Amino acid sequence: MTQPESTPDQAPSPASRHEAAGREDTFVAHAYPEQLVDLGEVRLNYATVGDPSLPPLLLIPGQTESWWGYESAMALLSEQFCCYAVDLRGQGRSSWTPGRYSLDNIGNDLVRFIDTVIGRPTLVGGLSSGGVLAAWLSAYARPGQIIAAVWEDPPLFSSELTPAYGPAMRQCIGPLWALYAKWLGDQWSIGDWEGLLRAAPSELPGWAAGLFGRGSNAATGPPQNLREYDPEWARAFWTGTVTANCDHARMIAADRVPVLFTHHFRMIDADTGNLIGAISDEQAKHVRRLVTESGQPCEYRSFPDKPHALHQADPQLYARTVGEWATSMLTSRVEGNHTGAIR
């Protein structure tokens, strides 16, 4: 189906170039200036706030989230950190890369971003799939690049097709990714938003259909975060290509830095055994065990009454939790005379 040129009330055109310059009508202004850095295959968009003399903190959004999901939290975190919030490839103003969405590719984008833009050892914090990428950096970044990591409600194990522990991706949020892939298509090549809305009640589990239906209608079109998102991300998760060559258990066991793991609302559906939430209690237990066995501390904070994106729903609590943990962790590093102190 041929799509018209993008406007604020329409899906992006598949004829648009994969760079943000071909999608300018998609975007809206935000509180902080945005910048692009050329990393070779991709150009990553980012915003930064905070005194450059403060410890750096790289913030990694979740799937369908652009950097500005952190906007409110950044205002609070900037009192303690120099914050860098990025758009991952395929999201926001960063390059779309057909056929190239995998944890390893996206993780290596962030390795190059740290080298090129931040230029010194950094803390990282990521939500959801961004939390999985924070775990990837904790294990696979260059030695000394990462000081410590915040894994905010990450779907570790639960975003794999065949996880080592607990429910798999298709037993939790996976049907939503299938819905996006089917009705929107890679690079919005289908773009049938009205069809997606009609199909959602029958193609999604009841709990997911209820959440998805809030604020979504044909008249207003897709929400802003989805307008900025390449739905091939969704297909990559549904088919498992995003986790190809990146086994979560092996990755977590390779962790090399202290971790703050926050765990939000979750429950197991009694009728189906499916997970409602990002990561089950059983899976969280194994994450903590694997990090501890790697020789690194893992502070676990449970917020069972908080939604998935804590940094959006309660930026004050998120900033306070991250700030207090970072202060304690950095103080311990100094007292323990660890190398690689943040400057």
Check pLDDT > 80 for residue 218. no
In a domain, 216, yes or no: yes
Residue 338 CA to its chain's centroid (Å): 29
Is the model's pLDDT at 341 over the cut of 70? no
The whole-number pLDDT of residue 27 equals 96
pLDDT at 319 over 60: yes
In a domain, 14, yes or no: no
- The backbone torsions φ and ψ at residue 317, rounded to the nearest 5 degrees and listed phi first, read -65, -40
Reduced to 3 states (helix: H, G, I; strand: E, B; else coil), residue 268 is strand
Domain assignment present for 278? yes
The CATH code of the domain that includes 33 is 3.40.50.1820
Q: What is the pLDDT of residues 248-282, one digit of tens each?
A: 999 999 999 999 999 999 999 998 999 999 999 99
Residue 25's CB is within 10 A of a number of other CB atoms, namely 14
- Report the domain count for the chain: 1
| Residue 209: pLDDT band with limits 50, 70, 90 | confident
What pLDDT band is residue 24 in, cutting at 50, 70 and 90?
confident
Q: Are 291 and 255 in contact (CB under 8 A)?
A: yes
Classify residue 340: in a domain, yes or no.
no
- Identify whether 3 is part of a domain: no
Query: With bands split at pLDDT 50, 70 and 90, how would you rate the model's confidence at 10?
Result: very low
Q: Residue 342 falls within a domain, yes or no?
A: no
What local confidence, expressed as pLDDT, does residue 108 receive? Answer: 98
Q: Which residues contact 35 (CB under 8 A, 6 or more apart)?
A: 45, 46, 47, 48
Query: Which tokens go with 102?
Result: 């995998």
H helices of the chain, in order, are 71-77, 103-113, 129-140, 174-184, 193-203, 206-212, 224-227, 232-239, 248-253, 281-293, 310-313, 315-335
> How do beta strands 56-60 and 34-38 pair?
unpaired
Q: Assess contact for 155 and 129: CB atoms under 8 A.
A: yes
Report the C-alpha gap between 228 and 70 in whole angstroms: 15
Band of the pLDDT at 76, cuts 50, 70, 90?
very high
* Residue environment code for 53-67, b if the CB has 16+ CB neighbours within 10 A, otherwise e: eebbbbbbbbbbbbb
Range in 11-20, 121-130, 214-223, 240-249 the model is least confident about: 11-20
SS3 128: coil
Percent of the residues in the chain that have a pLDDT greater than 90, as a whole number: 83
Q: What is the model's pLDDT at position 216?
A: 64
Task: Give domain status of residue 13, yes or no.
Answer: no
CA angle 181–128–252, rounded 5-degree value: 115
- CA 291, CA 257: separation in Å to the nearest integer? 9
Q: Give the per-residue pLDDT at 20.
A: 84
- The predicted pLDDT at position 334 comes to 60
* 82 pLDDT higher than 60: yes
Cα–Cα–Cα angle for 272, 275, 279, rounded to 5 degrees: 160
Closest CA to 42 of 119, 121, 124, 105: 105
Which residue type sits at 66?
A: S
Query: How many other CB atoms are there within 10 angstroms of residue 203's CB atom?
Result: 16
Mean pLDDT of all residues in 150-172: 97
The upper half-sphere exposure of residue 164, i.e. CA atoms within 13 Å in the direction of its Cβ, equals 15
* Pair of tokens at residue 111: 């390795």
Residue type, 119: G
Q: Give the pLDDT of residue 206.
A: 84
C-alpha distances (whole Å) from 145 to each of 49, 174, 252, 341 are: 20, 32, 17, 11
Average pLDDT taken over every residue of the chain = 91
CA 292 to chain centre: 23
- C-alpha to C-alpha distance for 241 and 36, rounded to whole angstroms: 27
Q: What is the pLDDT of residue 176?
A: 96
pLDDT at 215: 59
Lowest mean pLDDT across 17-31, 126-140, 188-202? 17-31
Q: What is the mean pLDDT of residues 176-205?
A: 96
CA 263 to chain centre: 15
CA 107 to chain centre: 11
In this predicted structure, the answer to whether residue 297 has a pLDDT above a threshold of 50 is yes
Residue 10 falls inside a structural domain: no
Per the structure, the complete domain to which residue 183 belongs is given by 20-335
